[in-house]
Structure 1
Amino acid sequence: MSESEHHGASIELENLTKRYPGSPQPAVDNVNMEIKAGEVVIFVGPSGCGKSTTLKMINRLIEPTSGRIRIDGEDVTDMDPVKLRRRLGYAIQSAGLFPHMTVAQNIGLVPKMIGWSKARIASRVEELLDLVGLDPGEFHGRYPRQLSGGQQQRVGVARALAADPPVLLMDEPFGAVDPITRDHLQDELIRLQHELHKTIVFVTHDFDEAIKIGDRIAVLRERSHIAQFDTPEAILTNPADDFVSGFVGAGAALKRLNLTRVRDVEITDYPTVTIDDSLQEIFNRLRSSGTNEILLLDKRRRPYKWLRRGDLMRARGSLARAGTLVSDTVTRDATLRDALEAVLTDNTGRVAVTGRRGEYEGVVDMETLMNSVQELLEADRLEALEAQHELEDSRSEVTHAEQEGGAGGQKA
């Protein structure tokens, strides 16, 4: 059995409270919540509402003033906090890697502390690097300063998963990277969760990120009071009050694009050539394809450039300056919103879909995306009409009952 086949654990928070000395109000006040095993729950709320404090109380980086924490039914409130933390993965913003340790040493830290053998640690490090999409041979011996922000975050997630904990706590883990890298890291987390089925508690202030990643979202007011705890669909279509509506913001129908994945729509093939093909072969392929452009793949079959007919005419024997670099790609786990943004920033009217190692798998075009938007808007319109009819029916029933009651009184 693979070491990463252990699944998630349930979490219960019972009357969880944190008071700081000298402060008139508690930072977190009487939180009660049940999180199912294998579920991704997002804490979202304004800055200072206590969402990170609540998260840190689960692994007791912050000690609760009162209340209980149960993991898989076991009360961990009085457990040795160091032992507890070794059972829970923890990933934070900017990865928090130790700069003097290599990638392998960072990932192997907790397994080493709990007594795993060197061979088992080495095997686990290789497995995890592969799992988070980093080549073990290439990254094993690097130091954090030699990695991009996105690569550091991947290593941070790998380190959090190293000892195969049932629970993964994530405190704004993708908040410090650029938007494109952030989208790709979110997709990677969704893909990982399909494989690992951990229980993930994830803090963010970004509602779009919450919709994209969460099975359920806890919208928190100040002191971590729960305004609504429900599925993304339910919160988008039925916000509990004005506070939640404010978080959802305008364009709820368009936000629902975050609930549909690229894998749910038609991914079409597109004419491709590779960088090793001759200019004549590329020209012949373009001519026979019936399209005005063709996708050039690099040596690893990753999308590299869009080539138009005119580009080839001007190439003069070399593709070095010809064509337009592919500015963005999406994976099958990306949302339709990600795909739409990628298409709008690329002048080709389509976006390339890639596999876990960046290899080309097909394209999604603007027409497919716009059809999906239309379907969502139509579904919203029908839902609103149904709700209106139900309201009218219930009003007419009330009126009818009142009239019946009035008639009965007159007869009497």
Structure 2
Amino acid sequence: MPEQTTTGAAIQLEDLTKRYPGSAVPAVDDVTMDIKAGEIVILVGPSGCGKSTTLKMINRLIEPTSGRIRIGDEDVTDMDPVRLRRKVGYAIQSSGLFPHMTVAQNIALVPKMVGWSRAKIKNRVEEMLDLVGLDPREFHGRYPRQLSGGQQQRVGVARALAADPPVLLMDEPFGAVDPITRDHLQDELIRLQHELHKTIVFVTHDFDEAIKLGDRIAVLRERSHIAQFDTPEAILTNPTDDFVSGFVGAGAALKRLNLTRVRDVEIVDFPTATIEDPLQSIFDKLRDGASNELLLLDRHNRPYKWLRRGDLTLAKGSLARAGTLVHDTVTRDATLRDALEAVLTDNAGRVAVTGRRGEYTGVVDMATLMNNVHELLDADRLDAIEHRHELEEQRAQQTRREQEGTDSARGASA
């Protein structure tokens, strides 16, 4: 694990405005926002509301018309924009990698620009690849066209973090990949943030993604006017108005499954064997074990197949034809919603949990997940009752104040 020397820096946006020539109204109008050091803040809102423009003004890819930007203790509004961008990581949709450069050259780009030594850059490239779960020996010399979409996005994040910036800006970085890969990339970002504690500002149009990733969410109206800026829990349980409720949508209680991680629930052990174990040993485990099933792992300790009693007999002793391939796994940083979706698509009602390189760590089953769903629903019911009582008390107090005012007025007239 690479040693990190820089953690996140606070960001302050003060009256930030962007007007384009010929437009009657600003694209972004008077945005003021305080972002704490080391937190993930999500900007979410309808298409065209100005969320990407707001993000790009932080590193001045788009120059603000007026207002101030502070990062840490430094006012960066008038700083040389090229120098500013070298201090702020930036990751975009479809990774934005330079196709004529290798993976290593892409990651080394900013450290080279800021004058790092060749040896330091070489070590940093290897650290960054390892950090995002890619084997440096395998990926160092590849070109972007030789990578999957998910691998390209991992390299894009590695490049954004290579010079150890305190701030990382992410503009819909996972929007162009398939849903399964997107879930895994989101989990990877959560894991990275646990280790790095950067300040991350992340733009998305997907409210479920915002709930899953954000420490706080800014729901933006037109021209980036802030409708609500709060924690995911607060927005789910107490949206400020109908506009915010529209983003939350139906099923707020189930959306709260995006707030609990697999690491927060019980992960059970499960009988395992590896493809290198003798067939007789695997057969004995299936025959003599308390469970009629085991999980077969590959040579890298990754989930490979679910094997049941009788599979080896039916397949005439061949592992190649025996069992059912593992299609879905979740990481410890996956949400309970991810785990529930995986479990619901599995006939036996369980999903294997994996580590950062895909290695097996345990299993989560339907019973565990359903217990947590019931706990969340119960908590929501209690919150709703408490909120209703608070509103009733506020109305009662208002009625008493009005009555006291009426009585005072009568007394004065008498």
Q: Is the contact made by 2:2 and 2:127 (CA closer than 8 Å) also made in structure 1?
A: no
Q: CA deviation at 1:402?
A: 6.1
1:88 & 1:391 partners in 2: Cα distance?
Answer: 45
Percent of pairs with identical residues = 82
Q: CA deviation at 1:291?
A: 1.7
Q: Is the contact made by 2:191 and 2:333 (CA closer than 8 Å) also made in structure 1?
A: yes
Aligned pairs (5 A) from 1:143-182: 143-182=143-182
Q: Is the contact made by 2:2 and 2:131 (CA closer than 8 Å) also made in structure 1?
A: no
Q: Is the contact made by 1:112 and 1:121 (CA closer than 8 Å) also made in structure 2?
A: yes
Q: CA deviation at 1:43?
A: 0.3
Q: Is the contact made by 1:5 and 1:196 (CA closer than 8 Å) also made in structure 2?
A: no
Larger displacement relative to structure 2 (314-323 or 38-47): 314-323
Q: CA deviation at 1:295?
A: 0.6
Q: Look up the match of 1:71.
A: 71
SS at match of 1:122: helix
1:321 matched to 2:325: no
Residue ranges of structure 1 left out of the alignment (5+ in a row): none
Aligned pairs (5 A) from 1:210-229: 210-229=210-229
Residue ranges of structure 2 left out of the alignment (5+ in a row): none
The alignment of Structure 1 onto Structure 2 pairs a total of residues equal to 412
Q: Is the contact made by 1:3 and 1:164 (CA closer than 8 Å) also made in structure 2?
A: no
Q: Is the contact made by 1:40 and 1:214 (CA closer than 8 Å) also made in structure 2?
A: yes
Q: CA deviation at 1:165?
A: 0.4
Q: CA deviation at 1:21?
A: 1.2
Normalized against structure 2, the TM-score is what? 0.96
Q: Look up the match of 1:262.
A: 262
1:400 & 1:12 partners in 2: Cα distance?
Answer: 42
1:196 matched to 2:196: yes
Larger displacement relative to structure 2 (387-396 or 263-272): 387-396
Q: Look up the match of 1:206.
A: 206
Aligned pairs (5 A) from 1:3-402: 3-398=3-398
1:141 & 1:192 partners in 2: Cα distance?
Answer: 23
2:369 & 2:287 partners in 1: Cα distance?
Answer: 27
2:130 & 2:2 partners in 1: Cα distance?
Answer: 14
Report the CA distance shift for 1:111/1:410 in structure 2 as closer, same or farther (over 3 A): closer
Larger displacement relative to structure 2 (251-260 or 380-389): 380-389
Q: CA deviation at 1:114?
A: 1.1
Larger displacement relative to structure 2 (162-171 or 311-320): 311-320
Larger displacement relative to structure 2 (176-185 or 305-314): 305-314
SS at match of 1:69: strand
2:378 & 2:83 partners in 1: Cα distance?
Answer: 52
1:225 & 1:404 partners in 2: Cα distance?
Answer: 39
2:152 & 2:245 partners in 1: Cα distance?
Answer: 35
Report the CA distance shift for 1:113/1:399 in structure 2 as closer, same or farther (over 3 A): closer
SS at match of 1:5: coil
Q: Is the contact made by 1:258 and 1:335 (CA closer than 8 Å) also made in structure 2?
A: yes
1:402 & 1:29 partners in 2: Cα distance?
Answer: 39
Q: CA deviation at 1:130?
A: 0.5
2:386 & 2:28 partners in 1: Cα distance?
Answer: 40
1:2 & 1:336 partners in 2: Cα distance?
Answer: 29
SS at match of 2:150: helix
Larger displacement relative to structure 2 (391-400 or 361-370): 391-400
2:93 & 2:294 partners in 1: Cα distance?
Answer: 39
1:64 & 1:181 partners in 2: Cα distance?
Answer: 35
SS at match of 1:358: coil
Q: CA deviation at 1:399?
A: 5.1
Report the CA distance shift for 1:291/1:76 in structure 2 as closer, same or farther (over 3 A): same
Normalized against structure 1, the TM-score is what? 0.96
Name the aligned partner's letter for residue 63 of structure 1: E
Q: Is the contact made by 1:44 and 1:51 (CA closer than 8 Å) also made in structure 2?
A: yes
Name the aligned partner's letter for residue 366 of structure 2: M
Q: Is the contact made by 2:108 and 2:159 (CA closer than 8 Å) also made in structure 1?
A: yes
Superposed CA offset, 1:335-384 (max 9, x none): 10010011112222001111111110000000000000000001111111
